[in-house]
Amino acid sequence: MEKIFAELNESQSEAVKQIDGPLLILAGAGSGKTKTITSRVAYLIQNGIPPSSILTLTFTNKAASEMRQRAMALLDNKISYPPLLCTFHKFGLLFLKHHMQELGRSNNFVIIDTDDKKRILKSFDLDLPVPMVAAEISRYKSNLISPEEAISAAQMINYKKIANIYQKYENYLEQNNLVDFDDLLALPYKILEQNEDLRREISRKYQYILVDEYQDTNDLQFKLLQKLASEHNNLCVVGDDDQSIYGWRGANIKNILEFDKEFENTKVIKLTKNYRSTETILKAANELIEHNRNRLGKQLESTKEKGKEIEFVHFDDETSEAKEIANRIKKLIDSGVDPKEIAVLYRINALSRSIEEGLNRAGVPYKMVGGLKFYERAEVKDIIAYLRIITNPHDDFSLKRIINKPKRGLGKTTIDKLLDLAYQNNCSIYTIYTEHKEALQETITKKAFSTITEFFEALDDIRQKLEKSSYDLIDNLEDAFGIRNYYEQMPDGSDRVLNIDEFYGLYRDFVIQNEDATLESFLNDTTLQSDQDQIDERSISIMSIHASKGLEFDYLFVIGLEEGFFPLVGDGCDIEEERRLGYVAITRAKKELTLSSSATRYYKGKRTQLSKSRFLAECGVSQGSLKIERTTSFKKGTLVKHKIFGVGRVLEVSKVKREYKLKINFGGTQRDILASFVERI
């Protein structure tokens, strides 16, 4: 027990000991949130509460595994089985595996990811943008609106259309026994809603429920939690309303703001001691977030020294910004700073390119966090599609993906004919092949028929062999289809082959570690898995602010502080959420923070003039706590364009106060012009 409390402060200890009833822990950035939750789990177990009645829910696999490790490390005695500590979606998956039959559906469903979902919608030949329809369907599901309800409620023509597509999509999922990410939450809720006894049983099973990052929960997650906690209300949620940055994805900040209204007798504990950043950095963060009105209100208190002033650097364009930041990073590394402790953050991914170029030029190795995830890569998804066909030959969705990959001469025409036949007979393409051979022979060319026969025979063969040995599956697959070889021969093949090998390795590990697990369970697990980050020891990190959540760095650069970029403005933008993003960004910094902006930026094929972000003033730039510096990438010989004088060449660059003055030759006439009035071309 001492081990648990040894490193906790007063409010952290209080939060750990408060075991019964609803508890809201408002944990500011860097206030020891993970430590508090894991200590609480350990404390519950040490107090004799059976691990099986404790449920901890997180949003990411990474958070779940980190917490599991830390909680177990705190226990004096090893326990035979650990408490369930997983993501919301994984919990949904486990639940559905046991209770799917309540909905009259089989439990050997396959989980599809967002990309799969969009492909399905695309195959419907919509006259509306697929991402928009996908988002609307997700919204319906998160609000527990059935397709029928959506159809009858729709007023505008486009919503009628969307509601009908929604219905078609749901039918498609049911027919193919697929489950999307929303279903992993919505279906368990439906089951608990319609079955009182089960609801009671499940709620009693999980006597103590903990939720991490509660500010990111959506309406559906909230409702699911209500059901799970309905028998006891022992619900402990941990979060920070100031770090709610996923509103655009359906997260509802009201869940945390009004938690104490939803659950009677809620105890609220604030963790405000920050163990991460210097006093100066915290002051800026506090000042910025105070401009928000919609918040519970808390001030982070520093436990560290004042530290260095925050630096603000202003540039003429993104090239000089990238160059200067790369140079500063290089200096830090040369002076012995561990590259792992350096990061560059930006609001939108489009800004990564300039900074990448700058780092490349300066010879600074970097790693981009986020970006395309391992399991989202085309080559990995292709292999997954093959594996899915092997578990379920009727999976037309996966079949379509790989029927001509590697190229075997089955083009659009043939595939369309196959789909037509399947549609007419209301069955899968595989069934056409097995039970309607004559019709198939009549419809497609001889060559296509023999190719398809060969293709399905090879798959059948692999499926049979799989029953004997799981381990040889990969070799059999490669022998039959040569997918690796196909990618190897592509111009950018080397990376792809690495990914394929990595994936094969993951499969083999899985088979070794889970002797009697099925291929199907492997597939469902991988769909729920996000990136396996292997952080390169010698690299600095660059990433979006969203991707930086939960991370911390000694030396932090936040670029692109311009109105329009950060805060981003326009459709669906919420200035308070933008400000929270600013708060998240600033509070990632431990020792030194550098902010930068550029007077112009090249974006979507145009160079735009920009003014400095309001956030600079809001976090203290007006009080002179920031050092302002200006650099330029204009030099002798640069070609520039002026709105009135047209194109010219720079003859001379000089500095006047904080501005740069250029002597420019416009077709024989020399003029002195301030750098901010011309654009590089």
| Footprint of DNA (CB under 7 A) | 59-62, 87, 89-90, 113-114, 122, 129, 181, 213, 216, 246, 248-249, 251, 347-350, 370, 373, 404, 407-414, 448, 528-531, 543-544, 546-547, 549, 568, 570-573, 602, 604-605
Nearest distance in Å: CB 278, DNA: 26
Is 280 one of the annotated active-site residues of the chain? no
Q: State CA 425 to chain mean position distance.
A: 40
The Cα 61–Cα 580 span in angstroms is 24
Between residues 60 and 164, which has the closer beta carbon with respect to DNA?
Answer: 60
- Active-site residue identified among 170, 183, 212, 241: 212
Nearest distance in Å: CB 521, DNA: 14
Token pair listed for 661: 């003055």
The Cα 145–Cα 362 span in angstroms is 53
Question: What is each CA distance from 583 to 247, 548, 566, in whole angstroms?
Answer: 15, 12, 12
Between residues 529 and 676, which has the closer beta carbon with respect to DNA?
Answer: 529
The Cα 673–Cα 190 span in angstroms is 67
Is 212 one of the annotated active-site residues of the chain? yes
The Cα 150–Cα 350 span in angstroms is 36
- DSSP for 659-670 reads EEEEEEEETTEE
Tracing tokens 């002797």 back to the chain, one arrives at 515
Between residues 333 and 610, which has the closer beta carbon with respect to DNA?
Answer: 610
Between residues 33 and 347, which has the closer beta carbon with respect to DNA?
Answer: 347
Between residues 283 and 381, which has the closer beta carbon with respect to DNA?
Answer: 381
Nearest distance in Å: CB 580, DNA: 11
Q: Tally the residues of the chain.
A: 681
Is 657 one of the annotated active-site residues of the chain? no
Check if the beta carbon of residue 316 is closer than 8 Å to that of residue 628.
no
Is 635 one of the annotated active-site residues of the chain? no
Contacts of 336 (CB under 8 A, 6+ apart): none
Nearest distance in Å: CB 93, DNA: 8
Between residues 244 and 470, which has the closer beta carbon with respect to DNA?
Answer: 244
Between residues 65 and 623, which has the closer beta carbon with respect to DNA?
Answer: 65
Nearest distance in Å: CB 174, DNA: 20
Q: DSSP letter for 536, please.
A: -
Is 496 one of the annotated active-site residues of the chain? no
Nearest distance in Å: CB 666, DNA: 22
| Closest by Cα among 265, 310, 481 to 387 | 481
The Cα 282–Cα 289 span in angstroms is 11
Q: State CA 173 to chain mean position distance.
A: 24
| Closest by Cα among 179, 173, 229 to 199 | 229
Nearest distance in Å: CB 458, DNA: 17
For 486-518, b/e burial (b = at least 16 CB within 10 A) is: bbeeeeebeebbebbeebbebbeebbeeeeeee
Radius of gyration of the chain (CA): 28
- Active-site residue identified among 367, 588, 612, 614: 588
State the helix-helix crossing angle for 157-175 and 130-142, rounded to 10 degrees.
80
Nearest distance in Å: CB 446, DNA: 12
- Active-site residue identified among 136, 213, 317, 396: 213
Nearest distance in Å: CB 248, DNA: 4
Between residues 87 and 638, which has the closer beta carbon with respect to DNA?
Answer: 87
Between residues 74 and 185, which has the closer beta carbon with respect to DNA?
Answer: 185
What spatial distance separates the first Cα and last Cα of the chain, rounded to whole Å? 67
- Active-site residue identified among 18, 34, 167, 631: 34
Q: DSSP letter for 588, please.
A: T
Q: State CA 530 to chain mean position distance.
A: 8
- Active-site residue identified among 33, 295, 496, 680: 33
The Cα 222–Cα 214 span in angstroms is 9
- Active-site residue identified among 12, 243, 280, 587: 243
| Closest by Cα among 532, 573, 589, 535 to 345 | 589
Is 34 one of the annotated active-site residues of the chain? yes
The Cα 357–Cα 334 span in angstroms is 20
Please give the positions annotated as active site: 33-34, 212-213, 243, 588
